[in-house]
Every structure is written in C-alpha cells, then in structure tokens.
Amino acid sequence: MNFISAPIAGAFELETLNRELAGTPFAGRVRHFPTIDSTNTQAMREAEQAQESGTVYLADEQTGGRGRSAHEWHSAAGSGLYVSILLRPKIAPADVLWLSLAAGLAVQDAVRDITSLAPDIRWPNDLLLSGRKMGGILTELNAEVTRVRHAVIGIGLNVHQPSFPPELASLATSLKIETGQDWSRQDLLVALLHHLNQEVERLTAVHNLDVATADVRDRLSAGSTWIQGKQVTVTDTDTFSGVTDGLDARGFLRVRTPHGIRVVLSGGVREGAR
Amino acid sequence: MTAKKTDARLSAKDKKRLASMNPEEIAELKELIEFLKENGIGEFDLERGDLKVRLKFAGAGPQVDPSHLSQLAQFAAAQHAAALQPAVVAHVHPVGAPAHPAAAASSAPETATAAAPIDDEAGLHIVKSPIVGTFYESPSPGSPAFVKPGDMVEVGQVLCIVEAMKLMNEIESDAAGEIVKRFVTSGQPVEYGQKLFAVRPR
C-alpha cells in the first residue's frame, strides 16, 4: 500500500459491545468486518447456511452497499454505521412489513437518545435531518407463502462524513454535518439494537399483533411529518402527486390525488408537486 | 354456472365487511377457499371471535372423501399456529349435492360464494406471492430475469422479487421442474396469494 489509511474514528470494541447488548438476542452474535461487499448480502448468504437468528453484521466499509432498486449507498470506510440484523421472526411474511417500519422508529429513537436530534421519518423508513437523508433501511425477506424463513434488516447511518460530493450534497447529510460533532458509532449501535429488540418483541408477541401494529402506526404518524398533509410526488409503477392522508391498516401510505386515494406499495416518496 | 372469481358475486355489504378484516384474515380466507375448492368440500362455517364466515360452493363438486376432513382440521390448526391468533372454530358440513348459489348469496352478510374453478392448470405447481407488493423479474433494473418460461428450476431457486415498503422479498421455487408460465409482468403490483409462476414438476 502506498497510502497510509487514516485511523478509523471510534473503532468498534466488540467485547464492550457484546456486554452492552446483554439481555438481547444480539449479545455475543456481533460479527465485524473491516470491509465487505454488503452487510445485507453477507447476512442473506449466511442465513441460507442456517446462521442463528439475532446475528448482527457490522462493517466499517461496504464496497457494494445497496438501497432500493439497486441504488448505491455511499459507504466510505469508518464514516458511517453499516449494520444488518438477521432475524427469523415467527410471524406471517406480510407482517415483516411492520418490522421494516418499526426499524425506522428504532433508528429515530436511537439517534434521539444519543444526539438529542429528532430525525424525521420519510415513509416508509428513511431518516432525515434538515430535509436531507442521514439514514436508510433496506429489508430483505426470504419467505414461503405462510412462513418467514429469514429476514435481514439492513441499516445505514451517516455519522462522521464532514461533507458529501456535490451531486449528493443537497440530498444527504450526516450527524457530523448537522451537529459539528463526532458521535460514537458504537453508542448509536447499542441504542439502536436495544430499541430494535423492543420493536421485534412487541411485533412477535403472541396474541398482540393488532395492538402492536396499531402502536407502530400511531408512533409513525406522530413521529413523521410525511404521513399526513404533506404534498408529495410518488414514483411507484407510475408517477403521481398528491397530499398524504395517513397509513392504511397494512401500513401503506395513502395519498389523496385529484383522481382519488392512491395507496403507495413501494414507491419513492418525495416532497412537492410534479 | 360458469366459473367466476370468488369476489365477483360479493355484495357491497360483503365487501365492506371484508374491508374491515385485517390482511392476515383475508389472506387466510383466500387460502381456505382454495383448499375447500381443491378438496370438493361443499359447505364450510368458521367462527373466530366476532368473525363468522359461511362458505357454500356452487357447481357439481365431487362427493366428499371423509379423509379430507382430517386434512381440513390440520389446515385449520396450521392456520391457527401461523397467525398466532386464538380460537379457530371450524364447523364442516360436507355436502355431495351442489348448494344453490342464490340461496347461499342471500343467507348472510358474511357469505361469500365461489363457483368451481376451471382446471386448466392440472398437474402444475403454482407459486404464489406471500406479500402484497410490486413484482420484479430481475434483481435490479436492466439485469437479466431470474427465470423465464422453459427454464428448469430447483427447489429454493429464486424466481423473482416482490417489493413493498423497500422490503425486498425473494420468492423461491417450492417445486423442482420446468417454468411453464409467468402470470405477471415486471413492475406490476401483486396481491397476497396472487399466482406468479406455474411449474411443471419434474
């Protein structure tokens, strides 16, 4: 190597990490990679090989980090928190959507605990500060019609980036940019995993699914400016504009358009009219 | 009677009642209807809490084989476990003679009726979507499809992705054989339980 790498700010201490995760299914199951193609890809690969539920894949750098529709996720070494969590929840495949939504709430709570900032949630689960993206979640599921084999929740948070390239600067931000401070990725991770564990426990508790999903819906509606009354443009199977009108019983975003209510299954939601 | 989709003869009131059911209940109901149709069971009552469902099938179904009843009990038990819901009470009334569809349709607001399906997929294994979402034939835009009709697939081989809320669901084949049909196009929205592929088992 001709270049000397800069030391990674706040490197992970796995022993401390595992101790701080005591009482969760993640304790003792954190696997750290200095560099990896994608923590989600690794987790999905190992899930096929019967890796345990609760295994956490943590990387300092991703060379092939992914977002929705194969969008690349900018994952420079040591600058962000890149983590994927392997779960085998005993719920119906359709209900994993609730886990994906609840993961956004867990990130929001973790960032609030550690930094006192309150990120907005852009449905379904992007984390925004000052209207720019500081975190994203990509969930991958392998399921039969009635049974989940495994689910991987992948979370990327921008932590230490002092700036972004010009083409991303208006879209992306980091905790460093927002506060001028470096926040510990490990502290963020511990808080995140504890919150995520609570969400998983609620959504997988026997007999309580309806209560738990209503609770996720209520908290999302309260904790996001995007769920109700926001003028948005949606790119789903087509592109349309309207005003958001709450979540339906399945957690999908309703948008009031001149042609009636549209329910967004999977589209990108952006602010403003077309 | 010609075969119609189950939904075709629901009254507005029935639809309203169905809309108040949660997605799991609707999904289970659809699956139950498929199961009953496949096994030629003519009449079926189900009570779950305040939800009561009575199904009567029109058309000349075959005489019910008593062994189907034990399968039905297993089905109900499996649904019970899968949905983590209490109290599935199933009352089964197998009938050899076809029920009159008009009588069934007018008997109760909760009533849904279904005609016998036209069986043009005999011997084929149907892969169905486990979630509502958008169907994608390839892992990313512009890349080749996971599979196309004529391909031979193994159990566990990924056939497509169904995406909802940035949740990417890899759909694997649960049968080995030849893909003979794809029912949906890439980018199309799909419902729970919608047919995706037909596989001719090897």
| Shared-domain flag, residues A244 and A111 | no
| Shared-domain flag, residues A27 and A126 | yes
CATH number of the domain where residue A230 is located: 2.30.30.100
- Domain stops at, among A184, A204, A222: A222
Q: What is the mean pLDDT of residues B90-113?
A: 37
Contact A105, A139 (CB under 8 A): no
The pLDDT of residue A207 is: 77
CATH number of the domain where residue A53 is located: 3.30.930.10
Peptide bond into A124 cis (omega under 30): yes
Q: Which domain holds residue A265?
A: 226-271
For residue B134, give the nearest of A125, A139, A237 by CB distance.
Answer: A237
SS3 B128: strand
Q: How confident is the model at residue B8 (pLDDT cuts 50, 70, 90)?
A: very low
- Domain assignment present for A8: no
For chain B, the first-to-last Cα distance in angstroms comes to 35
- Domain assignment present for A132: yes
| Shared-domain flag, residues A134 and A253 | no
**Optimal mutation site among B167, B174, B191, B195, interface A, most CBs of chain A within 10 A:** B167
Give the predicted TM-score (pTM) of the model: 0.72
| Shared-domain flag, residues A114 and A151 | yes
Can you say whether the dihedral through the CA atoms of A187, A189, A195, A197 is positive or negative?
negative
| Shared-domain flag, residues A81 and A205 | yes
Which chain A residues have a beta carbon less than 8 Å from that of B157? none
Q: In this complex, is the C-beta atom of B188 within 8 Å of any C-beta atom belonging to chain A?
A: yes
Portion of chain A with pLDDT greater than 70, in percent: 93
Q: Is residue A238 predicted with pLDDT exceeding 90?
A: no
Q: Are A70 and B27 a contacting pair at CB < 8 A?
A: no
CA distance A122 to A271: 10
If we measure between CA atoms, which residue out of A24, A32, A54, A10 comes closest to residue A187?
Answer: A10
- Domain stops at, among A222, A240, A256: A222
| Shared-domain flag, residues A199 and A212 | yes
How many Å lie between the alpha carbon of B189 and the closest alpha carbon of chain A? Answer: 8
Q: Which of residues 122-181 of B touch A (CB under 8 A)?
A: 128-134, 139-141, 163-170, 172, 174
Contact B152, A122 (CB under 8 A): no
Cβ-based burial of A213 (10 A; exposed 0-12, middle 13-18, buried ≥19): buried
Dihedral angle computed from the Cα positions of residues A271, B132, A70 and A35, in that order, rounded to the nearest 10 degrees: 110
- Domain assignment present for A7: no
| Shared-domain flag, residues A177 and A263 | no
The count of domains in chain A is: 2
| Shared-domain flag, residues A75 and A203 | yes
| Shared-domain flag, residues A142 and A258 | no
| Shared-domain flag, residues A52 and A185 | yes
Dihedral angle computed from the Cα positions of residues A11, A157, A73 and A151, in that order, rounded to the nearest 10 degrees: 100
- Domain assignment present for A3: no
- Domain assignment present for A9: no
Q: What is the mean pLDDT of residues B124-151?
A: 92
